[in-house]
């Protein structure tokens, strides 16, 4: 649950409404117990051979100090998955249809697939996105591309706008 810039762990069994009052400094037991149960569940899943990671290093550190000594057996998402991509020069690249037309995103998606036809990561991300990512407000997409690929893709989208395949507001 996010409150402004602060995230807290809602205790198991607590209604989402009213959990803001359960700040760790004032009532740590329900939160700590829920965090421990989550980390223990992640460890059990990992032991079954299922890829498991935690998106919050602070949760694992907190659990290691108090309740779950092997909490860091679960890798964090950044060191396990994101950092290796950054080391290769791959990072998030976002595009949005300023026209508000979801078809413009579909055209840009196809351009990304054409440019990176050999890139399994791009194919696995872009292909299902059109069917499974709901457009909210402005149609947009994010995909992980290499540094040079981001430049080439930006030029390709400019060409699509110039040729009238993608509309853009001026």
For 155, phi and psi rounded to 5 degrees?
-65, -40
| Other CB atoms within 10 A of residue 74 CB | 20
Take residue 106 and report the two structure tokens written for it: 């579909």
Tokens encoding 115:
């440019």
Q: Are 45 and 24 in contact (CB under 8 A)?
A: no
Q: Is residue 87 annotated as a catalytic residue, yes or no? A: no
- Give dist(CA 29, CA 24) in Å, integer: 8
Pairing mode of beta strands 6-7, 90-96:
unpaired
Q: How far is CA 145 from CA 51, 85, 88, 105, 151, in A?
A: 23, 9, 10, 16, 10
Active-site entry in 63, 68, 126, 143:
143
Please identify every residue annotated as catalytic: 143
């Amino acid at each position: 649950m996010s409150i402004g810039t602060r995230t807290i762990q809602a205790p198991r069994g607590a209604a989402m409404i009213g959990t803001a009052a359960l700040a760790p400094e004032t009532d740590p037991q329900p939160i700590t117990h829920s965090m421990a149960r989550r980390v223990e569940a992640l460890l059990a899943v990992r032991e079954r051979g299922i890829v498991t990671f935690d998106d919050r290093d602070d949760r694992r550190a907190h659990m290691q100090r108090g309740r779950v000594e092997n909490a860091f057996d679960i890798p964090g998402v950044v060191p396990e998955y994101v950092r290796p991509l950054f080391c290769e020069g791959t990072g998030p690249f976002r595009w949005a249809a300023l026209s508000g037309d979801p078809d413009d995103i579909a055209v840009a998606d196809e351009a990304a697939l054409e440019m990176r036809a050999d890139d399994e990561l791009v194919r696995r991300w872009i292909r299902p996105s059109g069917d499974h990512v709901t457009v909210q407000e402005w149609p947009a997409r994010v995909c992980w591309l290499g540094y040079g690929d981001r430049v080439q893709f930006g030029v390709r989208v400019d060409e699509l706008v110039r040729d009238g395949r993608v509309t853009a507001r001026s």
